[in-house]
Amino acid sequence: MKLDSHHNIIKISAIVIAILYILVSAGVAFSSFTIKDEKKLGKEFYEKLKDRGIFVKNPKANEYIDKIGHLLLSHGKKPFFDFTFSIIDSSAINAFATPGGYVYVYSGLIELAENESQLAGVLAHEIGHIKARHIAQTIEASKKINIATVAAILAGAFLGGGGELTAAVAGFSMATATTLNLKYSRKHEEEADRLGMSYLVETGYNGEGMLNFLKIMRKYKFYSNSIPSYFLTHPGTGDRIIYLDGLLQTKYTKGGAESIIGGLERIKTTLVINRKDLDSNLRYFRNVLKKDPDNPDALYGLAVIQGKLGKTVESFANFRRALLLSPGDADILRDLGISYFNLGNTSDAIDTLRKAHSINEKDAGTILYLGKSYDTAGNYNAALELYKKFMKRNPDDISIYYNLAMLYGKIKVPGRSHYNFGIFFKKKHKLKSALFHFKAAQNFFPPGSEMAGKISEEIDSINKQPAKNEDKHAED
């Protein structure tokens, strides 16, 4: 799900108001917003966002952000909360924190960061807000907001809408959120910067990362067509720059590392590759290459996007250039192998994907497409082993059950074939088809066997579901 910038501003600018409504509906008094309340409401808010499907589903990027966040947390006083770091799938430039230890950063902000210390500076600032319990204080100071209006804003912010409803919700939520954020900025932005700077420097990062990112944001504001939503949730950029510069000149003068975890360019590349606007992605990588013609990450990203656009010759040329600059790169080899597979060149796909797999045996894409390549080549035993490996690590991936069902059919194991077709259709919410295959699978396993028990459980679970829910998503 890709959100446009305007809708994102509606959603995230209403964050404090949304929490206020959840708070009241939960029966919690404004005057005593406890640590327990923060944990409860932060989790509820996180679950609402998760249910809306707006988080980036990129294990490598999520792991990267999580590592930076917890590295920063390893310095300073132990927090009240277990922290969760998430990436919102949007080109908008923003980051924010909610009660209970939840930090959110937009993929657009990650793409804008020039080095890891800048990104770490953003996360450190958000950690500062949470550890100082700034949002809790803002909520307790906002007793006069009309709850009925808050409920309407929450509905608009999370459920969306169209036409006049969206415009009305946007207008009110922006006005109210801005009022709250002005109070928030006067009281808390300086403290969050001060705390964040201490976390950043104590971790070993160069404190200039926090300052330089704000300067990039200010420059972006002047040279772009839209104001980054970061300025709405983190106002007072000019004053913050002056304050941070003062800290660096007087207290944090020793410098530090621009990168500790490493690999930001690859993370940015994978995020851009997965955006839907292929023409925009193409421009992104070409702009990077104008400044740095031998950037292997940009060449790799450009090759992938060119392949998606059907520019096969240019794509393979850039894959080769990228591998010359970064030999043995598992990501580049994987996507080159996938390109070979998609073009029907199974032999080269197997050779390339085997190299990628030998370098990184855990990569899901490599495992899946090497399995598909072996399947296409008729090496069913190797394909089956890889499919099982992929399914074990990615049980929510619906397509793998279809691949397994088809493969079991090819090797004449009809019971397993029917069983996996049953799982596939059940996950697709096509319950009648699922029931048919589970009942067919029963004929191939003796009563009392482990598989017979699994099949019976699946049939029972389908029979217990209301009839009105059957095949309700059949069109998906």
Residue 91 has what pLDDT?
85
Task: Look at residue 256 in the predicted model and tell me its pLDDT.
Answer: 93
pLDDT value, residue 43:
86
Are 102 and 245 spatial neighbours (Cβ–Cβ below 8 Å)? no
Average pLDDT over residues 423-435: 96
Q: Which residue has the higher pLDDT, 33 or 334?
A: 334
Beta-bridge mates of residue 86: 104
- The yes-or-no verdict on residue 23 having pLDDT over 60 is no
pLDDT at residue 143 in the model: 54
- In this predicted model, which residue has the larger pLDDT, 155 or 473? 473
DSSP state of 448: T
Distance between CA atoms of residues 196 and 118, nearest Å: 12
* pLDDT of res. 186: 59
Structure confidence at residue 380 (pLDDT): 98
Among 190-199, 347-356, 383-392, name the one with the lowest average pLDDT. 190-199
Q: pTM to 2 decimals?
A: 0.80
Tell me what pLDDT residue 138 has. 66
Tell me the helix, strand and coil percentages in the chain, rounded to 5: 70, 5, 25
Least confident of 32-46, 167-181, 234-248, 327-341: 167-181
pLDDT at position 386, please? 98
Phi, psi of 87 (to 5 degrees): -110, 125
CA 242, 244, 245, 250 torsion-angle sign: positive
Instruction: Give residue limits of the domains in the chain.
Output: 5-250, 398-476
Angle at 187 between CA 193 and CA 13, to 5 degrees: 80
Q: What is the pLDDT of residue 118?
A: 97
Would you say residue 326 has pLDDT above 50?
yes
Q: Is the pLDDT of residue 166 over 60?
A: no
Confidence category of residue 436, pLDDT binned at 50, 70, 90: very high
- Res 39: pLDDT: 85
pLDDT digits (tens, 9 = 90+) for 53-103: 889 989 999 999 999 999 999 987 787 889 999 999 988 888 888 888 999
Q: Say whether pLDDT at 180 is over 50.
A: no
Give percent above pLDDT 70 in the chain: 79
Q: Which residue has the higher pLDDT, 40 or 432?
A: 432
Under 8 Å between Cβ of 217 and 149: no
Sequence-ordered list of residues with C-beta below 8 angstroms from that of 358, at least 6 positions apart, any chain: none
CA-CA distance, 381 to 386, in Å (whole number)?
Answer: 9
Confidence of residue 179 (pLDDT cuts 50, 70, 90): very low
Q: What is the mean pLDDT of residues 17-44?
A: 61
Pairing mode, strands 84-88 and 102-106? parallel
How far apart are alpha carbons 111 and 107 in whole angstroms? 6
pLDDT at 135 over 90: no
Residue with tokens 């106002």: 235
- Smallest CA-to-CA distance from 371 within 404, 413, 417 is with 404
Asked if pLDDT for residue 181 goes beyond 70, the answer is: no
Q: What is the pLDDT of residues 228-263, one digit of tens each?
A: 777 767 777 888 899 999 999 999 988 899 999 999
pLDDT at residue 223 in the model: 63
Mean pLDDT confidence for 2-17: 46
Average pLDDT, the chain: 83
pLDDT (0 to 100) of residue 97: 85
pLDDT of the residue at 56: 93
pLDDT for the residue numbered 225 = 62
pLDDT average, residue stretch 125-149: 69
Instruction: Identify the pLDDT of residue 240.
Output: 87
Q: What pLDDT, in 10s, does the model give residues 453-471? A: 999 999 999 998 876 544 4
pLDDT value at 14 more than 80 = no
Q: What is the mean pLDDT of residues 294-322?
A: 97
pLDDT computed for residue 170 by the predictor: 42
Nearest to 378 by CA among 350, 413, 417: 350
